[in-house]
Amino acid sequence: MGGGRNKMVKKPIILFFGGSSGIVKETLKYFKNNYEIYAFYNKNNPKNKLKLKKKVKLNLLSDKDILNKIKKINFTNSKIIIVNFASVKIDKISLFVNNKDIKKTFQINTFSFLKILQIILPFMMKFKWGRVINISSTGGLIGDKGTLLYTSSKNATHSMIEVMSKEYANFNITFNTLKLGNFNFGLYKLLKKEVKEKILKKIPNHKTGNVKNIYNAIKFLIESDYVNGSSIKIDGGL
């Protein structure tokens, strides 16, 4: 009996990538009691009052930095959840897109996420449990003028998630995407009143989302073992 106690499952580990954005900071609050939280950020340290397990500055442009930072975490005998908010958006008409823009966008939005998964998946497979939740946007997968890089990279990541959902299903590892609409955070807050009014008119219930909606969706995907390879919209019905 004593030996069994040493192998007891620890508190689940949840890793948030893109941890410095306002919407992530608010989402983290709902997970503070039941998880070991790691918030990975690129530029701005997520300065909130939460007692996170660790806040880690991470350069997503460097595979070496990704490997060095993640391998310091003890994943043994733990359920692992990955929530990927990390992204970069370079708005340019296709005629003016250059190689530097392409490399940066795909490295942050797609390739770095694959690298993270390649490092952590063996631990999930050994434990026979894992949850991978990719955060995208309703508009990000459709595209608009000037969003060639963002839309292309987000669609590549979306396809990657769908393929991997099939590759690792036998290990009880699920891969899903949440497509977010308009939330009263970040760039939306900076929009002019008339622009906000136009956006709200397009939304059937004429309101922006709140972070509890995102938390509820993440919680649902964590608890479900039969939702896999899915794309769930949280956009008020757009």
At residue 45, φ and ψ (nearest 5 deg) are -60, 125
- 75-86 pLDDT, tens per residue? 999 999 999 999
pLDDT at 181 > cutoff 50: yes
Q: What percent of the chain has pLDDT over 70?
A: 89
Give pLDDT, residue 53. 58
3-state helix, strand, coil split of the chain in percent (to 5) is 45, 20, 35
Where does the pLDDT of residue 5 fall: very low under 50, low under 70, confident under 90, or very high at 90 and above? very low
pLDDT at 1 > cutoff 60: no
pLDDT at 74 > cutoff 90: yes
Give pLDDT, residue 15. 96
- What's the CATH fold of domain 2-234? Rossmann fold (3.40.50)
Domain ranges of the chain: 2-234
Give pLDDT, residue 3. 44
DSSP conformation letters of 83-111 = EE-------B-GGG--HHHHHHHHIIIII
Where does the pLDDT of residue 2 fall: very low under 50, low under 70, confident under 90, or very high at 90 and above? very low
Three-class SS of residue 154? helix
pTM, rounded to two decimals: 0.89
